[in-house]
Structure 1
Amino acid sequence: RADFESCPDSFLSRSSERFFAQRECMEHECYIFLSKRAPGGRLSSSALSNVLRKSLSPVELSDQVLVDGFLDSVGQLVRVMEDSGFVKMQRLDDDALAGTANRPGMLERYCFLLQKDEASVLNDIHLAEGIRVGEKHCQLFSLADAQQMPWVVGPRINYERYSGERTRFSVGFASPLGQLLAVNHIYNQYVFLGDAGATLKKLEAKKLRLHSLSSYSRENAVSRDAVNDYLNEAVAAGRLPVKAHFNVLCWSEDAAERKELGNLVSSAMAQLDAVAKLETDGRAQIWFAGLPGNQADFPMNDTFDTFLEQASCMFNLESSDRSSVSPFGVRLGDRLSGRPLHVDISDEPVSLGIATNRNKFILGPSGSGKSFLTNHLMRSYAEQGAHVVIVDVGHSYQGLCELMGGYYFTYSEQRPIAFNPFFLAEGDVMDTEKKESIKTLLLALWKKDDEDFRRSEYVALSNSLSLYFELLEARPDIFPCFNSFYEYLQSGYGAELERSKVKAADFDIQNFIYVLSPFYR
């Protein structure tokens, strides 16, 4: 969405707004739903789901004491998450959940697959032959069994597009199912915390049952060993046993694209070494359990046992980049979609404690865009009132300087670089500091680095400068520069040294004039 009101009133800035106006890009939203199962209630399954009940909320959950205890636990979680400094959580109010007369809420958006700013509209929902919401044809792919899961999970994987032979670009383990899956989709991640002791007790009974049947089937023996390894790790490492389920709900308004959607989701899961399952029989129950706040009624026969650490590796840990709230910054493009973002790489990192200074170092091979980036960076800073000074080697920034109406000083063999320390702008005064800097410059041009100067030479230089500036006051027609100072040394100052009876051993003016001759004219 273009913003012509706040963008700088320059040709490049407004052209950038027009270029990106109304372009499609991937949007991402993340919601965490914490649900409490009714105490003592029967676990749901594909055959027993509240999709067939009159009321979604069990009667037991109307107990205020139970609700207050649940809210206290949620408050502790929110505090821990926000104290990390990486997450900001906001509780959804009634309007955000149920919606208003003109704006759909979370319930309506999930049921009818509406976008964030899309107007409210009612659609028919068909569950007989696949899930269809109005004209949107949906497919549901799940990871509901341990056999479908990868053999190894972790917090990260390599993103091959930006990785090289010696370098690796890390993204979250489940990123192929999140931002990297370029279709309209919802990635649901379910983790169910239960009674750990009761869970381990059931698994112990299952292990004994498999052990008694192991003589009849080798598969039973393998399953017995797997359950035994799970129990050993739970006890030895203090792991928390949980049940988990993950699914991807994708959709398209073109029914012919359903096969392509399936290929994309299956390929994304294959990048994790996971096997996608297209839900057909239990899709209605799984879809309805994804209704915001209804996660506690998820069919538990579509979950698998794992540990909390392994389940958390399947969480989507990344989101779309957001523009900085800082008023100062530069416009950059999102890595995945190219969407323009306002980024502060100077002040904000310092204020957040990420960096302690504002130095920047741009490294890249020839043709990688170093000068292009620097041109863009300097233009953005100049438009925001920064004072920019560039030492340009190769005239890469001459066009930018002309565009911004700046001063560009260049040199060649015929016109070498030069500066005039003798010139004073209107209103300036030749104070002691400026005189000392000129004397230091003249001594550096006259003497070598390892060659010392005598006190008499320093005094003679001071006198020459004082007399020269007195001459400039008496003769306004003389332009203050090195050439006029050099001519004064040749003509007037030699006679002054003779009147003061300064010997050549104290100050050799002929040697001084000869050494400075290459800088004359």
Structure 2
Amino acid sequence: MRNRSKITTLESKFPLLSVEHGCIVSKDADVTVAFRVELPELFTVTSAEYETMHSTWHKAIKVLPNFTIVHKQDWFIKECYHTTCKRGQEKPLSFLARASERHFNERPYLNHTVYLFITKSNRQRMAQQSSFSTLCRGHLLPKEITNEEEMVKFMESVDQFERIINESELIKLARMSEAELVGSREQAALLDRYFSLSDSRHGTLEDIRLGADLVRVGDNMLCLHTLSDTDDLPTTVSTDGRYERLSTDRSDCRLSFASPVGLMLPCNHIYNQYLFIEDSEANLQRFEKQARNMHSLARYSRSNQINEEWIQEYLNTAHSQGLTSIRAHFNVLAWSDDEEELRQVKNDVGSAL
């Protein structure tokens, strides 16, 4: 019998082409600059500092050009704490420090690693759909990638973005080198983490299974939750909130708005945040047209009338405060090697969202 199974190589399906001058180049000619992010320690940030961090991100993102994708990725990996006590070290630890190291030795915790990716895309890629094909366009490469001036402006805006973030002194960005992205035979790097879902020092290629009902990497089974409906969000959104378990009448313990899907989620997971910076004027014009259509159809359905009011309120806020219209996407990718634990993880992620 003839084998009819579809077999392909991982290299042909891998979307990245190469790493050049510290930038990741995809097969669709998107250029990405990667950063390693250092955030303040948990429970050490006040409400005013959360507001400062938020305004810093807002100020930095505004300097980026149109058709740029900002991707912030938070990795939370379960690990066991290993003590730093070593015999014969020059400065022996104090009694309390040594007792603390013994107390936490080999205890499980969530290791938090943050990456930031800034991608230069183009108008066609940002509006791409599943029916898009290379046969429908005249040039294989977009015009923006072949324009040297556009690339120079993009790299200058990325440098300005990095400078604004680092000047806040609350968040630190460090540009990732080619070795940290690609790695070597002995040392694992960023791209190796996607194939093993671990932070091991040595890169190992796990078996990957993509099925209709299950995605498996090695022994780990994955589940993906997306925040796709605005009804899941509360009526008011703030940068931080009060953490009642550690707060008292006289002291406030603050956590970020997304902490339920961050360190408060006790499982192996990745929290992805995407911001798609498009042509804001074109988006607002499209909303104006949509509002006129809703107004003309308001007599046939009350929902059209309500939707028109929401769109008008959105447009009034955008024009009066000078805000930029962007698209956003958020998802949580969690995994476990045990089916029972995976079922519990799904419930935990759903309730956290």
Q: Where do 1:383-422 residues align within 5 Å?
A: none
In structure 2, the residue matched to 1:79 is 163
> Does residue 1:263 correspond to 2:347, yes or no?
yes
Unaligned runs of 5+ in 2: 1-81, 135-139
> Does residue 1:2 correspond to 2:94, yes or no?
no
Render the CA deviation track for 1:158-213: whole Å, top value 9, x for unaligned.
11111235654221111111111111111111111111100100000111111122
1:148 Cα deviation (Å)?
2.8
Q: Where do 1:107-146 residues align within 5 Å?
A: 107-115=191-199, 117-128=200-211, 129-146=213-230
Q: Which residue, out of 77, 90, 99, partners 2:183?
A: 99
Q: Please tell me the residue identity of whatever aligns with 2:176.
A: L
In structure 2, the residue matched to 1:235 is 319
CA distance in 2, matches of 1:41, 1:188: 20
Q: Please tell me the residue identity of whatever aligns with 1:2.
A: T
Change (3 A) 1:91 1:215: same
Contact preservation (8 Å) 1:196, 1:241? yes
CA distance in 1, matches of 2:256, 2:277: 23
Change (3 A) 1:60 1:107: farther
> Does residue 1:188 correspond to 2:267, yes or no?
no
CA distance in 2, matches of 1:139, 1:227: 34
Q: Please tell me the residue identity of whatever aligns with 1:101.
A: R
1:217 Cα deviation (Å)?
1.3
Render the CA deviation track for 1:113-157: whole Å, top value 9, x for unaligned.
122x34211122223223221111111111123233222101111
Give the secondary-structure state (helix, strand or coil) at the position aligned to 1:89: strand
In structure 2, the residue matched to 1:155 is 239
CA distance in 2, matches of 1:114, 1:30: 14
CA distance in 1, matches of 2:170, 2:133: 37
Unaligned runs of 5+ in 1: 51-55, 270-521
Q: Where do 1:368-379 residues align within 5 Å?
A: none
Q: Where do 1:223-302 residues align within 5 Å?
A: 223-269=307-353
CA distance in 1, matches of 2:271, 2:322: 29
> Does residue 1:205 correspond to 2:289, yes or no?
yes
Give the secondary-structure state (helix, strand or coil) at the position aligned to 1:180: coil
Contact preservation (8 Å) 1:39, 1:60? no
Stretch deviating more after TM superposition (157-166 or 232-241) = 157-166
1:12 Cα deviation (Å)?
5.8
CA distance in 2, matches of 1:94, 1:190: 23
Contact preservation (8 Å) 2:209, 2:216? yes
CA distance in 2, matches of 1:192, 1:90: 22
Identity of aligned residues (%): 36
Q: Please tell me the residue identity of whatever aligns with 1:211.
A: H
Contact preservation (8 Å) 1:159, 1:169? yes
Higher relative contact order by CA 8 Å / sep ≥ 6: 1 or 2? Answer: 2
> Does residue 1:28 correspond to 2:112, yes or no?
yes
Change (3 A) 1:30 1:73: same
Contact preservation (8 Å) 1:7, 1:14? no
CA distance in 1, matches of 2:222, 2:206: 14
Higher strand fraction (1 or 2) = 2
Q: Please tell me the residue identity of whatever aligns with 1:29.
A: T
Give the secondary-structure state (helix, strand or coil) at the position aligned to 2:270: strand
Contact preservation (8 Å) 2:222, 2:333? yes
CA distance in 2, matches of 1:119, 1:75: 32
- Give the structure-2-normalised TM-score: 0.68
Give the secondary-structure state (helix, strand or coil) at the position aligned to 2:115: coil
1:42 Cα deviation (Å)?
5.7
Change (3 A) 1:18 1:146: closer
Q: Please tell me the residue identity of whatever aligns with 2:267.
A: V
Give the secondary-structure state (helix, strand or coil) at the position aligned to 1:207: helix
CA distance in 2, matches of 1:33, 1:122: 23
CA distance in 1, matches of 2:183, 2:143: 24
Change (3 A) 1:248 1:207: same
1:66 Cα deviation (Å)?
2.5
Task: Please identify the structure whose Cα radius of gyration is greater.
Answer: 1
Higher helix fraction (1 or 2) = 1
- Give the structure-1-normalised TM-score: 0.47
CA distance in 2, matches of 1:186, 1:6: 39
Number of residues paired by the alignment? 263
Change (3 A) 1:43 1:9: closer
1:63 Cα deviation (Å)?
4.0
CA distance in 1, matches of 2:276, 2:231: 19
In structure 2, the residue matched to 1:220 is 304
Give the secondary-structure state (helix, strand or coil) at the position aligned to 2:111: coil
